[in-house]
Amino acid sequence: MKKLTTCMWFERRAEEAARFYASVFRNAEIGEIVKAPAGGEPYTTEGQVLTAEVSIEGHTFVCLNGGPHPEGKPNDSVSFQILCKDQAEVDEYWNKLAADGGKEVQCGWVKDRYGFAWQIVPEALPRLMKDPDREKAKRVTAAMMQMVKLDVARLEAAAKG
C-alpha cells in the first residue's frame, strides 16, 4: 500500500467514477475493485462494490461507495489540480471533466459530474504569476480572474501588457 492515497466518497457510483477518471487521463488505469462480503455494512449487499481504485499519473485514488454522506456533496474546500503543458491539454481536460453534467466555474475550475472540483491550470499561469516583475504578475492575475476556462494566449498577452 502507498503511504498517501486520496479517498473520494460516493453514495453508490464508485466503480463508475473510477472508470470515468481512468478515461479522462492518458496515464491512468483501474486498480483493485473490492466487493462486499455477505453480512457486510447495513447499506451494502453481497457483491456490491465497496471501493474501486484508479491510478492517475502514479497517484492512487480510492473511490468509496460510502452511502449517503453526512456532510452532503463534495465541496470546494478540496480540489484536484491538473497542470497542463499547453492550451490543447487545458481544453482536453476541461471538456472531458465538464461533460455530461459537469459545471464550469470561474478561474479555471470545473466540477465533474460527481461534484468534485478540478483546477485545470496551464503551466504558463504559475510561471507568469511568479515573474519577478510584480506588475506583470498583477496583470496576469487580473486576467485570470476574468476567465472561466483559462486561456494561455490571453494570460501571456496580459503579461506583456
Q: State pLDDT tens for residues 23-45.
A: 999 999 999 999 988 776 666 67
Domains 1-69 and 73-161 share a fold: yes
Say which CATH class 73-161 falls into: alpha beta
Helices and strands per DSSP (H, E), number in the chain: 5, 8
Bridge partners for 89 per DSSP: none
- pTM above 0.85? yes
Separation between Cα atoms, residue 3 and residue 49, nearest integer Å: 23
Q: Which residues have CB under 8 Å from 55's CB, separation 6+? A: 28, 29, 31, 61
Among 18-22, 69-73, 82-86, 101-105, the minimum mean pLDDT is found in: 69-73
Q: 32 CB contacts (<8 Å, ≥6 apart)? A: 51, 52, 53
* pLDDT one-digit tens code per residue, 41-68: 666 678 889 999 999 999 999 999 988 8
Q: What angle do CA 79, 82, 87 make, to 5 degrees?
A: 135
Pairing of strands 117-122, 79-84: parallel
Average pLDDT estimate for 140-160: 97
What is the H or E stretch that residue 137 is in? helix 134-145
Select from 1.20.140.10, 3.40.109.10, 3.40.50.300, 3.10.180.10 the CATH code of 1-69: 3.10.180.10
Domain ranges in the chain are 1-69, 73-161
Q: Where are the beta strands (DSSP E) in the chain?
A: 6-10, 28-35, 49-56, 59-65, 79-84, 103-105, 109-111, 117-122
pLDDT in tens, 111-149: 999 999 999 999 999 999 999 999 999 999 999 999 999
In the numeric block, the cell 457510483 is attached to 13
